[in-house]
Amino acid sequence: MLLALTAVAAASGTSFDCEVVTRKFEVFAPTAEVTANFNGNVLTLYKFEAEAGAFGENEVKVAQVFDGLPDNLYLQLDDGRNSPIDVTIFEIDPNAGTARASIMEDLTPEAAQRTMIGLEGSCMVMPGDGKEGA
């Protein structure tokens, strides 16, 4: 998991190593310059990697991004069950290398009425300068 994000960091951006309750995950967000110069689907530049089983049995994919960096980052993840998972990274302090993270998830994707749960945790922030890589 770290190797994949390290290779992506060569594109220049910021990595977040997060833990929310028992869920560990990593997020990579490219710089605004990288996204502005990219000729394609910029969603492919954002990476989300989680420990096996952290978000159910299915692999989750980045479906939508609202990039408000350096202040916050919002990702909507698709788990393939029509049950979106919202991940928000906020209170980002690159000088201290810390941030907060929250997850909003539907516990009852098959039910007529949704039951949402919100969890919070913390992240380590690792700014990339485009010099690291695999």
Q: What is the pLDDT of residues 51-99, one digit of tens each?
A: 888 887 778 899 999 999 999 999 999 988 777 899 999 999 999 999 9
Rounded Cα distance, 88 and 106, in Å: 15
pTM for the full predicted model: 0.82
- Residue 132 forms part of a structural domain: no
More confident residue, 129 or 115: 115
Rounded Cα distance, 83 and 81, in Å: 5
- Residue 134 forms part of a structural domain: no
**Domain coverage including residue 92:** 2-127
Contact between residue 28 and residue 13 where contact means Cβ atoms under 8 Å apart? yes
Cα distance between the two ends of the chain? 13
Cα angle 57, 63, 32 (rounded to 5 degrees) comes to: 130
- Residue 77 forms part of a structural domain: yes
- Residue 133 forms part of a structural domain: no
Rounded Cα distance, 72 and 38, in Å: 21
- Residue 11 forms part of a structural domain: yes
Q: What are phi and psi for residue 113, nearest 5 degrees?
A: -110, 130
Please report which helix (H) or strand (E) contains residue 7, including its range: helix 2-9
How many structural domains compose the chain?
Answer: 1
Contact between residue 90 and residue 105 where contact means Cβ atoms under 8 Å apart? no
